[in-house]
Amino acid sequence: MIEILQGDITRLDVDAIVNAANPSLLGGGGVDGAIHRAAGPQLREYNKTLGGCPPGEARLSPGFNLPARHVISTVGPVWHGGDQGEARILENAYRNSLELALANDIRTIAFPAISTGAYGYPREQAARIALRVMREYEPRFDRIIAVLHSKEDYDLYKRILEEIQGE
Ligand code: AR6
């Protein structure tokens, strides 16, 4: 089942929250900064052992001080206008996060709106990709949660999910 929530992803008690990271996996701003602050410095120490992550791939870490049991870090594309393979990389970020979750018996997972902040991906196009991949994987999870920071993004996701469910 897909759920759409407005709020702070670091507060969720789920098997895994997904981080919109950068390829270093060592922290940054936005949701990445919030997750590292809430998880504690052990997350950065652990991620040093992972050796980074290319765009579109995903890596697993423990949740440390988070209510969530795991952090799945993925790296979305930086938006360069849309002709640099951004859509495929964004789709892969969602898909590889969900595949990594399945391989680790994760049944409840929460995603932020990957790439739509500092990385500049147009929000509506990104939401369509996110929700289409979530729909595809929905039967294999107990909960797939999209967590939106702003009311605007929350409303956008609600609208697009209704559109997709009507197809
Ligand atoms: N919970 C849920 N969503 C949040 C939270 C939160 N606590 N905080 C912010 N968002 P961004 P990106 C939303 O910039 O575009 C970092 O520096 C935010 O409103 O966090 O993938 C990394 O290290 C936006 O809608 O991620 C990378 O360098 C969404 O999360 C780079 O930013 C994603 O915005 C990644 O950029």
pLDDT at 133: 98
pLDDT at 74: 99
Q: Give 21 Cα–ligand 1 centroid separation in angstroms.
A: 8
Write out the DSSP string of 99-151.
HHHHHTT--EEEE--TTSSTT---HHHHHHHHHHHHHHHGGG-SEEEEEESSH
- The pTM (predicted TM-score) of the whole model is 0.98
CA angle 12, 112, 150 (to 5 degrees): 95
Q: Which atom of ligand 1 is nearest to the CA of 75?
A: 21
Q: Give 101 Cα–ligand 1 centroid separation in angstroms.
A: 20
32 is catalytic: yes
From 8, 13, 32, 155, the catalytic residue: 32
pLDDT in tens, 9-62: 999 999 999 999 999 999 999 999 999 999 999 999 999 999 999 999 999 999
Q: Which residue has the CA at smallest separation from atom 20 of ligand 1?
A: 30
147 lines ligand 1 (CB under 6 A): yes
pLDDT at 30: 98
50 alpha-carbon distance from chain centroid = 18
Q: Which residue has the CA at smallest separation from atom 7 of ligand 1?
A: 8
Which CATH superfamily groups domain 2-166?
Leucine Aminopeptidase, subunit E, domain 1 (3.40.220.10)
pLDDT in tens, 79-105: 999 999 999 999 999 999 999 999 999
Through-space distance between the first and last CA atoms of the chain, rounded to whole angstroms: 17
